[in-house]
Amino acid sequence: MDSHDVQSDLKHVLYTREQIADRIKELAAEIDRDYAGRDVLLVGVLKGAVMVMADLSRALHSHVSMDWMAVSSYGSGTQSSGVVRILKDLETDLLGKHVLIVEDIIDSGLTLSWLRTNLESRGPASVEICALLRKPAASKVDIDVKYVGYDIPNEFVVGYGLDFAEKYRNLDFIGTLAPHVYE
Ligand code: XMP
Ligand code: MG
């Protein structure tokens, strides 16, 4: 087996490119309805949310601007450290803005609940969250995620922006890793 063959690192496909595209269109329609007539600032969380941001923003009909934050809560492995640090802050003043945080995945919810509190302290008109994926652990924390693409089982997933040690972000589908990759 060629160790550089990405396919051989995957156990199974959770969502295909087509399924993701359809779900993102549904989320965009909901967001367009909810924000009718208002400008939205999409805040993407680097790097995982890059693909969701690219596709969601293009599926929206509302006026949007985009900005990015980079925070660290995970190292290169699969375990949450519980510590959130801002690696790159926004360039936009949030005062009076309708902010929609765009995330790839919510697991423990630590990152997003910290981020939401942080952004709320900057005087926006509103802060909501859109996450493409949500793991079961997220139900244990008190965090209101208004837009969720899919509730998934508690498995480590990669692709469509999600990485394992910085690999697999470029896959156009979402899949689970074969055990030989991380064991
Ligand atoms: P918390 O636990 O704070 O974590 O909600 C959110 C961040 O953890 C990363 N994460 C993952 N990344 N596959 C990944 O590639 C996963 O299955 C996974 N689970 C959590 C991700 O960076 C997310 O923003
Ligand atoms: Mg992320």
Q: Is residue 32 part of a domain?
A: yes
Number of structural domains found in the chain: 1
**Ligand 1 contact via 113 beta carbon (within 6 Å):** no
Residue type, 159: G
Q: What pLDDT score was predicted for residue 1?
A: 47
**For 26, which DSSP code?**
H
Residue 164 domain-assigned?
A: no
In a domain, 181, yes or no: no
Three-state DSSP at 181 gives helix
pLDDT single digits (tens) 83-113: 688 999 999 999 999 999 999 999 988 889 9
Give the 3-state secondary structure of residue 150.
strand
Does residue 67 lie within any of the structural domains?
A: yes
Q: Is 75 among the domain residues?
A: yes
Specify if 141 maps to a domain. yes
User: Does the beta carbon of 108 lie inside 6 Å of ligand 1?
Assistant: yes
With respect to residue 24, please indicate whether it lies within any of the assigned structural domains: yes
Q: What pTM, to 2 d.p., does this model score?
A: 0.92
In a domain, 78, yes or no: yes
Taking a 5 Å cut-off on Cβ, the residues next to ion ligand 2 are: 45, 48, 104
CATH of the domain at 73: 3.40.50.2020
Which residue segment(s) compose the domain that 147 sits in?
Answer: 17-156
Per-residue model confidence (pLDDT) at position 2: 52
Report yes or no: 135 and 120 within 8 Å, Cβ to Cβ: no
Count of Cβ atoms closer than 10 Å to residue 125 Cβ: 13
Listed in sequence order, the residues at least 6 apart from 164 whose beta carbon sits closer than 8 Å to its beta carbon are 78, 156, 158, 177, 181, 182
